[in-house]
Amino acid sequence: MHPTKMWALFFLTASNYSLANSDNSSDCVKHLGGGYGDAQCYQALSAKLTEENENIYKELAKSIPPRSPHARLLDEYMTSQRRSEKFCDLQRDAGTKWKEVTDGTMYPAIYEGCIYKLRESQNSFLKALLEMSRW
């Protein structure tokens, strides 16, 4: 088989694997290859974490006494986490000499990977807060 055809077959197989598995598990992260499938994998995983983070946030918010300054602080934290996504543009565009690249190259995967890492960090922080609030 011609090397170009082999690469295309590999890319399609990896992308399809990522698509098929990214909605129900983190297995797609084990099969990253730098393409569009990676972006879809990270996007699906980020969506799951965003939903989980929102649920943890709601549970935390219920545990904070009324009129406590901590309620506002928690709200500010969640807002800052949403706003921090825009800084992933820097990571994506640094490798393209600062041109926005949102096509099917590896650069959208870099952006989505950055978002995923932010959501992962947020998830860890919120889970730790929730655990501590239950002491």
**73 is a domain residue:** yes
Q: How many domains does the chain have?
A: 1
| Alpha-carbon separation of residue 118 from 15, 43, 61, 121 (angstroms) | 23, 12, 21, 5
User: Containing domain of residue 128, as a range?
Assistant: 38-133
Average pLDDT over residues 34-59: 90
| Model confidence at 81: pLDDT above 90 | yes
Instruction: Please give the pLDDT value at position 33.
Output: 67
**106 is a domain residue:** yes
- pTM of the entire predicted model: 0.75
Ramachandran region of residue 97, left (φ > 0), alpha (ψ -120 to 50) or beta?
left
Specify the higher pLDDT residue, 40 or 25.
40
**70 is a domain residue:** yes
Question: Amino acid identity, residue 66?
Answer: P
Round to whole Å and give the CA distance between 45 and 115.
10
Confidence of residue 84 (pLDDT cuts 50, 70, 90): very high
| Model confidence at 9: pLDDT above 60 | no
